[in-house]
Amino acid sequence: MMGSRHDLRPSVLDLADDEVLMPGLVDTHVHVNEPGRTHWEGFATATLAAAAGGVTTLIDMPLNSIPPTVDVAALHVKRRAAAGRCSVDVGFWGGAVPASLAELPAMHAAGVFGFKCFLVDSGVPEFPPLGSDGLAAAMRQVAGLGSLLVVHAEDAAVIASARPPDTGSLLGTAYSSFLRTRPPDAEVAAISTLVDLARATGARVHVLHLSSAAAVPLLAAAQADGVPVTAETCPHYLALAAERIGSGATQFKCCPPIRDQANSELLWAALGAGVIGCVVSDHSPCPPELKDLDLGDFGTAWGGISSVQLGLPVTWTQARRRGHDLADVARWMAAGPAALAGLSAKGGIAPGKDADLVAFAPDETFVVEPGQLRTRHRLTPYAGQQLNGEVRRTWLRGSDVGSHQPTGRLLTRN
């Protein structure tokens, strides 16, 4: 039986013998880039790709669009850009930058799900990082509002000291050269700072896109002490490995970086132990020319991976090899992110929840062909890879996403 709290009319759903019914995924880390950089992605293409990958709810990051979502006026601009273009439900993070800290209460009242900040250069000048004083001020405000701070946690000083002198923007085509510029210590130092401030202020803090397993013991100890700090990782950190990235393969560049296979196995262990609670895409697309594939220099290429459509099969392919089941994947990719954002109607199949559902064939295999992706640009590090698990159909509040005009809603914090 299908239906939702918004539509109580029941209907019957028949699945194929090789399909299972999963809750719609919740992806709390997506860069849609509209308005201002819509040629990078946009709500129409991003949400179509999300639906094709079994994602029924996404929360848009406040940067890479112009204007960035750092005040209520910019939030209104973002909502107008998204209205009528979304095939899945969409919510919004607010941005915490040095000039916007006074705007946090108004954005909270306007319904953002929390606030994103950087501790290192974001890559775009209109979204600068917070220094130590700004971070402390933001955390005090977040604690007072009862909100959530989600943080790109790399320490700027550690990264500055790791970059070779006199290289300018060039690093060369060897992935190892880029990897040395984003050392694990940068994540450890930043997360140590966040834990100390969370302990002092009581603010809820979430570590975005954890790539370094060296920070896991720090997170585990803080969580055991009751410090309100959580963490996510991404499919590319779980499925890809530095030692398999070829020369000039800048489609693999992201920040923080993909590390080695041994590190990946430790991230899997942290997922299994519950220290990491979410797997989300960090979908960060750009036009192919910004990946600088002709030169193949890891210093000049844009850092971001386009993956919102492939996250479920990528994660499932790796999870099943390690003895995890689909219930684990649903917890990491649906229930966990929904709980993080306070989306009580999302992330599960139960009375009272939205009928956001996915027909998934876990034993089906396919080869990633970029031409079949629904994103605006089809450059992907997964091209040519064989994956397990095919999304056959996706329903949003009981309606087949592929059978109607976009009906995704713009969500606000409950």
**pLDDT tens digits, residue range 237-269?**
999 999 999 999 999 999 999 999 999 999 999
Interval 318-348: pLDDT, tens? 999 999 999 999 999 999 999 999 999 999 9
Interval 356-367: pLDDT, tens? 999 999 999 999
When the pLDDT of each residue in the chain is averaged and rounded to a whole number, the result is 95
- List of domains in the chain: 24-403 (3.20.20.140)
Structure tokens belonging to residue 214:
């060296």
Q: Nearest-5° angle of CA 316, CA 148, CA 36?
A: 80
Which long-range contacts does 401-405 make (Cβ < 8 Å, 24+ apart)? Answer: 401/51, 401/56, 401/87, 401/88, 402/51
Structural element, H or E, at residue 299: none
Query: Residue 5, by phi and psi: left (phi above 0), alpha (psi -120 to 50) or beta?
Result: alpha
The pLDDT score that the predictor gives to residue 219 is 98
- Mean pLDDT, rounded, for 159-173: 83
Q: What is the largest CA-CA distance in the chain?
A: 66
- Mean pLDDT, rounded, for 151-164: 94
**Is-contact 4 397, C-beta < 8 A?**
yes
The pLDDT score that the predictor gives to residue 166 is 66
Rounded Cα gap, residues 334 and 257, in angstroms: 24
- Res 4 pLDDT > 50: no
Q: Is the dihedral of CA 178, 117, 92, 327 positive or negative?
A: positive
Structure tokens belonging to residue 154:
């790399």
* 305 DSSP β-pair partners: 283
The pLDDT score that the predictor gives to residue 5 is 47
